[in-house]
Structure 1
Amino acid sequence: MKIILFLIFLFMIYGVIPNHYYKYISRKVIRKMDAKQKQIALTFDDGPDPRYTHELLDLLKDYNIQATFFLVAEKSLKNRDILERIIHEGHSIGLHSLSHKHAWLSMPFETKKDFEKSMKIFKELKVNLKFFRPPWGTFNILTQYFAKKLGLETILWSINGRDWSSQVTSKEIAKRIMNYIQDGDIILLHDSGGAEGAPKRTLEALKEIIPKLKNDGYKFVTIDEKVGDLEHEKAIQTY
C-alpha cells in the first residue's frame, strides 16, 4: 500500500499538479490575444496530413486567410511538400512535439529528447520555431522548462472546437465557435488526428463559419502577427 501511495504521489508531482498549474493558472502560458480590434487566430494541430492539410490550405487560400499550424516534427519530415506550402502561403508554424506523445507518458529524459529531436528536425527543414503547443495541451513538470530553455513561447487556446471527437458534427463545431467568439480568441482546431475522418468535419465547419466571421468584421491573424499582443490569461476556456 505504501508503494502505491508513493507512486500516486510521484504521479501527482510529475504530471497532475504541473499540468493544472500551466494549463489553467500560469501567466507564462498564452491563451488569448490582447486584440484591440476584431482579430482572431485560427490554429490547427497534429499535421501536416496529406489527406486533409492540402484541402485546408486550399480553403484558407480561397478566403485569403492566414493561420497558425502546430506541426508534429516526424510528420513534417515525411511531408516536406506540405510544410513548404504552409510556409509559402504565409502561415505561421509552431512545434507540436516529435510524435504527439502524451506528456504524462514521457519520462524526464524522454521529454528532453522529444524537444531536442524536434528542434533538430525543424532546423534541418530550415524552419525557425518560436512557438510550442503540447499535445492535448498537457504538461509534465519539465514541459514548460524545456520550452522556455529553447526560446519557445507556449501557446494554448481560448476556444476549443473539440473537433477531434467522433461525437461532434460539423454543425456543432461551427455552433460552438460562433456562440462564444470574442475579440482576441485563439481557436483550437485540427487538420489531422482525432476520430476517423474528424478533420473532414472541421473543414465543413470552416466553410460555414469563415464567411460568417468575415461578415461580422473579424480579421484572421497568425500568432506571429500578434506576438507583442498576447495575453497570459489565468483561465483557459474549453467550450
Structure 2
Amino acid sequence: MQLLGIVFSSVSMVVVAQPSVSFFYSDLPPYEYTDQQGRAAGIAIDRVQRLFAAAGWRVFYHFDSVPRGERALEQLVDFTTVVAPTAQQRQQYVISELPLYQIELGVIRTEQTPPVTQWADLLQQPYLVLRDTRFAYLQDEAYASPLMTLRYEVANSADALRLLNSGRFAYFLCYVSSHQAPPAPWLKVDVLGRYPVHLVISRQHAQAQQYMQTIDALLRRTDFH
C-alpha cells in the first residue's frame, strides 16, 4: 500500500497595528467642541481627521481647558493647533509650515445691536469672551491693551449666549464662521479678521520632527487647500 503524504503548510498572518496619535482640543465652536454624543466635532476636527487619516494614523481626541491641554502637550498629548503662532510659541513648539485652515474671529450680537465693523467698536463697553481664549496673536496691536481690559470671561458658549440674549452685554467676541448660520435666528455675526491655524507639537516630543515632516508633506498637497 502506497502511503500518501499530505503536507499542510501553515500561513501566518501578520497584522500591522495602525499607528495612533492624540490631539488636544477645547470648547471653541464651531471649530472644535464635544457634540451631544460625547464625540469631538467641528470644522477643525473634520480637517484633523482627514489629514491624520491620509497619514495612516488613528487619532484619539483629548478634551480639556486650554491651560491644562497645553501642559498635557508636554507629556500626554501629541498634537494641537495654534492660531497665528507668536514668536514665543515658535520657540516652544514645532509648527507646521502651512496652516491647516483659516479661522474667523468676530462677534455674535442680537439683531437690535449695532454691527461691529472695526476693533474700535468693541472698546466702548465690556464684551463677552470665553475664558480660555487669549488671542495672543493680537498682543502687538495698538488696541490690544484696552481690548483685554474690557473682556468679561464666561466658562462656555451657552453662558455667553444666555447673557447676550438677556441684554446685559452687547457683544460676544469669539471664533465664528461666515459659512454657517448663527447659533439662533435672532443673532447676527460680524467677522473682524481671518487668521491661519497651524498644527503644533511640543519640541520635547521624541518624534516631533518625524511627525511634522509627515504633516508638512501632506499639507503641501493641493487637495488639502
TM-score, length-scaled by structure 1? 0.26
Structure whose CA Rg is larger: 2
Q: Which has the higher contact order (CA 8 A, sep 6+)?
A: 1
Give the number of the structure whose residues are more often helix, by fraction.
1
Give the number of the structure whose residues are more often strand, by fraction.
2
